[in-house]
Amino acid sequence: METLSGVHHFYLGIVLTLLGFMLLWAPRNWMAVAGIVICVMGLIIMADDIFQHAMERFYMAGYDSPLKKVYLACGQVCPLIGKITVFFDNLFRGKNPLS
């Protein structure tokens, strides 16, 4: 079974969900609406990752969900996504996340 160190775009979903949730208490209404949208996007990304790893585990080894393909393409273009992945991989593996 997958471990926390094996799920990658789930991390991005966590960050987006938390950011969106924090925006719900923003002083401007448009920021709260943006928070809802960002939070829902994060939840969809996390659900996609859970689905992908369930498919890999129980049905088809090597299954790549459509969002994983987008995530990998974006990771090549935006180094920040790769840095977030490395940070959380180290964190969940018990290593120093800042190294």
- Grade residue 62 by pLDDT with cuts at 50, 70 and 90: confident
Reported as a single tens digit per residue, the pLDDT across 6-34 is: 566 787 788 899 999 999 888 888 998 99
Angular region, 14: left φ>0, alpha ψ -120 to 50, beta rest: alpha
Domain ranges of the chain: 4-92
**Can you give the pLDDT at residue 93?**
75
Q: Quick count: other Cβ atoms within 10 Å of Cβ 78? A: 11
pLDDT for 6 equals 58
CA distances (Å), origin 55, targets 7, 29, 66, 68:
13, 39, 13, 13
- pTM for the model: 0.68
pLDDT at 39 over 90: yes
